[in-house]
Chain A
Amino acid sequence: MRFTKAGAVVLAAGLAVSLTACGSGFSSGGSTQDNKKPLSILIGSSGDAETASVKAEVAAWSKTSGIKATVTVASDLNQQLAQGFSAGKPADVFYLSTDQLAGYASNGSLYEYGDKLTNKSDFYPSLVKSFTYDNKLVCAPKDFSTLQLIINTELWKQAGLTDSDIPTTWDQLTDVAKKLTTGSQTGLVIGGEYARIGAFMTQAGGNLMNADSTKATADSDANVKALDYVKQNLAAGDFKFAADVGAGWGGEAFGKQLGAMTIEGNWITGSQTADYPSVKYKVVPLPKGPAGAGTLQFTNCWGIAADSANKAGALSLVQQLTTKSDQLAFAKAFGVMPSIQSAASEWKKEFPALVPFLDAAAYAKGVPTAKGSADVVTDFNSQVAKLSTGDPKTILSSTQTNLDALLK
């Protein structure tokens, strides 16, 4: 191709113009505040029930505040959030998970409004810890879930077990799992990942990181003890990972009666009612380990973008969405647990069968929140999937190295 001078000039000018156009488009937004500006809310929904109830509560707030607000359901929340932030036009209010928090807080994408919340002291302290970055509460915990032991009551009876056999120690758990293992049915089937096995770590007094995610504690003796316990039971065949029985997750294995027990969170109730209504089950606290009771908790918060043009409005909306009445409405609609302590007693009255989940709030530990920890957990998961042939110490020490690297 022959390149004439005029052509080159035109092309260069075109490039320059479009590049500057890009630049201006990217950096706009955020500076001027307008208290009446409409809000956009981006959520990652578990289903129609969740979408409808969030929409209803937001609409109710719009009516009283006079600020328009639209709820959008993301098909891939992380991706859509990232796109919004890089374009300089993020959603005003959005669901934010614990593992995404540090990344967005560190680059200044988030409006750190925690101290402005009037109900700040009402949130469970462990949840507040999960959303604290640089000693500041970044966003309001939306709700939370914990893990407990789910028992198939019919298989339990068939194995000749009674309520007095409900395990309260690791040894008893091994015992009942052995009794419940027959044919194609395994005693305990759980997901082969940190988000389930981590419960055993906390029962032994360990976890991958300390509560503030400022120190890696992966290679502690407690964690080795926990993985050793799980490995022994995997070797004996009393425990199995969901993937190894051909199920996508513990709840599926439980519903298909491939496992008589599983370890899952309060979300399991929804899927059991929808997919396996005939399976009768009961939620009991996980057994105590060498260091007492322990479990993991999972939570999301209501993030507000630093680039939002109406931060005051967004804050008022979040304040409303975290009130007792709104949180109880969400709980009724899609089975989450309120993030504020003052809603606990009413929630327990409403869902007596699920009380162990909420009781766990007293001792549950959060998952690591350090920037990049999600990658390390994924790596840990990839090794733990092969735990039955792997060496717990090797797995944990490589995880320790990876976590240490994040904190440098």
Chain B
Amino acid sequence: MTATTARLPRRRGASIRRGQAVSGWLFTAPVLILLGLFLLIPVLMAAWVSVSDWTGRGSPLSPDVHFIGAANYGQVLWAGGLSERDFGTALKNNFWYVILVVPIQTIVALALALAVNRRMLRGRGFFRTAYYFPSVTSSVAITVLWLFLFSTTGAVNAVIAWFGVKGPNWFNEPAGIFHFGAVNGPVALESNTLLGVSWWDWLGGPSVAMTAFIILAVFTTGGTFMLLFLAALQNISADVEEAAMVDGANAAQRFFRVTLPQLRPTLFTVITLGLIGCWQVFDQIYTGTRGNPSKTTLTPAYLSYTAAFNNQQWGQGAAIAFILFVIIIIFTLIQRWVLSEKAVSKRRMGWITRAERSSTAQSPKATGHVAIVGASRNGSGSPEEDDS
């Protein structure tokens, strides 16, 4: 850059590229401006609000608003007051929601996709539409439907009654499902707390009311993710499966060792989207229970909303949103690490080469197929390829 001798030829080349750069910026400008205006600036302003004493009146950038450091974060994380307990409760509720919804909805979606992908299934189109239907229905409508289905005298309890069991009072039952009806826990669990919530409550699982929301989430998003899995399944070449069949792999082996490894990128997408969506659950709570019964359906997203809009604690509301953001990032990173391609361990590698050697010795014909199966196990698309 500084060398004067190189200037002349460089400039000529640069001028051509500069024209490209300008038009490049010009073409991307609408999106950049939109993203900046509606995403970047609001996020930056929210970040500022989370460390300020803004009270919700006038501009947060006005000189009357002061920087107060981590005080808002302190209120919800370590101050020991009601705000911390509320946040702990919300986190506990949402944690169980995520832990149960993400795996169940992924398995259900995969199972549905496998079912409607079968070539011999009659009326596949009908089933594909039917399973996808809840996903395109408004979440408010489904929540209202759920409130009816799961009312004390609703359809769900009527069905349960056929088996001679009295159904629970779903949306009014705050008891944790893993407490199994026990009211008080061991003193050690009751007296020690994390974020103002006792370990007994942390371990209690979702409340019966939250369980109804968990079922709702699986019901609605199962169809969406089924579609993703279906698309991935249809991309898998039938040759590989046939090759595995020729090798004598049974159905379970074919699924776990041939199909599933090839679905890894989709699995990554589905779990990531599931994690993010589950940590941000809001609509159902807002339209359904508003945190009741006994705060067992309170979630951080809903808490952030009430803190800001109902209690004028804008700083706290923004702080909760940013903590939620960090939690989502951490969970996604963990998930990315768990699902990442790991080098095949020595023990396994030894097992593969031994298998190969013995099969070469016994039947030379099969060698090629083992190689294909091996390739499909180790060489399927990596997550990095998929989401870049």
Q: What residue of chain B has the Cβ atom nearest to residue A2's Cβ?
A: B21
From B33, B152, B311, give the contact of A103 (CB < 8 A): B311
Mark out the residues of chain A between 331 and 385 whose CB falls within 8 Å of any chain B CB in the assembled complex.
Answer: 372, 374-376, 378-379, 382-383, 385
B57 pairs with A14, CB closer than 8 A: no
User: In whole angstroms, what is the CA distance A292 to B55 when docked?
Assistant: 42
Q: How far is the CB of A24 from chain B (nearest CB, A)?
A: 8
B32 pairs with A11, CB closer than 8 A: yes
Known: A26-B59, A103-B312, A379-B82. A386 touches B41 (CB 8 A): no
Q: How far is the CB of B361 from chain A (nearest CB, A)?
A: 54
| B31 in contact (CB, < 8 A) | no
Q: How far is the CB of B21 from chain A (nearest CB, A)?
A: 5
Contacts of B25 in A (CB 8 A): 4, 6-7, 10
B312 pairs with A22, CB closer than 8 A: no
Contacts of B32 in A (CB 8 A): 11, 14
Q: What residue of chain A has the Cβ atom nearest to residue B56's Cβ?
A: A86
Per-residue CB contact flags for chain B residues 293-322 toward chain A (1 = under 8 Å, else 0) read: 111000000000000111111100000000
B82 pairs with A402, CB closer than 8 A: yes
Per-residue CB contact flags for chain B residues 329-356 toward chain A (1 = under 8 Å, else 0) read: 0000000000000000000000000000
Contacts of B292 in A (CB 8 A): 382, 385
Q: What residue of chain A has the Cβ atom nearest to residue B308's Cβ?
A: A82
Q: How far is the CB of B352 from chain A (nearest CB, A)?
A: 41
A23 pairs with B61, CB closer than 8 A: yes
| A18 in contact (CB, < 8 A) | yes
Contacts of B60 in A (CB 8 A): 26
A106 pairs with B58, CB closer than 8 A: no
Per-residue CB contact flags for chain B residues 58-94 toward chain A (1 = under 8 Å, else 0) read: 1111100000000000000000011101100000000
Contacts of B312 in A (CB 8 A): 82, 103-104, 107
User: In whole angstroms, what is the CA distance A181 to B163 when docked?
Assistant: 29
- Give the dominant DSSP class at A's interface: helix
Contacts of B45 in A (CB 8 A): 22
Known: A11-B32, A15-B36. A374 touches B311 (CB 8 A): yes
B62 pairs with A382, CB closer than 8 A: no
| A65 in contact (CB, < 8 A) | no
Q: How far is the CB of B104 from chain A (nearest CB, A)?
A: 27
From A18, A23, A405, give the contact of B81 (CB < 8 A): A405
B152 pairs with A246, CB closer than 8 A: yes
| B43 in contact (CB, < 8 A) | no
Q: What residue of chain A has the Cβ atom nearest to residue B312's Cβ?
A: A103
From A86, A383, A402, give the contact of B57 (CB < 8 A): A86
| A294 in contact (CB, < 8 A) | no
B36 pairs with A27, CB closer than 8 A: no
Q: How far is the CB of B199 from chain A (nearest CB, A)?
A: 18
Q: What residue of chain B has the Cβ atom nearest to residue A4's Cβ?
A: B21
| B129 in contact (CB, < 8 A) | no
| B139 in contact (CB, < 8 A) | no
Q: What residue of chain B has the Cβ atom nearest to residue A24's Cβ?
A: B59
Contacts of B85 in A (CB 8 A): 379
From B61, B86, B153, B308, give the contact of A375 (CB < 8 A): B86
| B169 in contact (CB, < 8 A) | yes
Contacts of B382 in A (CB 8 A): none
| A316 in contact (CB, < 8 A) | no
| B135 in contact (CB, < 8 A) | no
From B21, B61, B81, B169, give the contact of A243 (CB < 8 A): B169
B59 pairs with A375, CB closer than 8 A: no
Per-residue CB contact flags for chain B residues 10-40 toward chain A (1 = under 8 Å, else 0) read: 0000000000011001000000110011001
User: In whole angstroms, what is the CA distance A127 to B58 when docked?
Assistant: 30
| A19 in contact (CB, < 8 A) | yes
| A259 in contact (CB, < 8 A) | no
Q: What residue of chain A has the Cβ atom nearest to residue B59's Cβ?
A: A26
Known: A23-B62, A27-B58, A244-B172. A79 touches B309 (CB 8 A): yes
User: In whole angstroms, what is the CA distance A386 to B56 when docked?
Assistant: 35
A15 pairs with B41, CB closer than 8 A: yes
From B37, B172, B183, give the contact of A389 (CB < 8 A): B183
Q: How far is the CB of B144 from chain A (nearest CB, A)?
A: 13
Contacts of A374 in B (CB 8 A): 310-311
User: In whole angstroms, what is the CA distance A79 to B310 when docked?
Assistant: 7
| A113 in contact (CB, < 8 A) | no
User: In whole angstroms, what is the CA distance A48 to B21 when docked?
Assistant: 59
Mark out the residues of chain B between 149 and 208 whose CB falls within 8 Å of any chain A CB in the assembled complex.
Answer: 151-153, 169, 172, 174, 183
Q: What residue of chain B has the Cβ atom nearest to residue A406's Cβ?
A: B82
B55 pairs with A243, CB closer than 8 A: no
A residues neighboring B (CB under 8 Å): 4, 6-7, 10-11, 14-15, 18-19, 22-23, 26-27, 78-79, 82-83, 85-86, 88, 100, 103-104, 106-109, 243-246, 372, 374-376, 378-379, 382-383, 385-386, 389, 402, 405
Report 20 cross-chain contacts, Cβ distance below 8 Å, ordered by A residue.
A15-B41, A18-B36, A26-B62, A82-B56, A82-B308, A82-B310, A83-B309, A85-B57, A88-B58, A88-B59, A107-B56, A243-B172, A246-B151, A246-B172, A372-B311, A379-B85, A385-B293, A386-B174, A386-B294, A389-B183
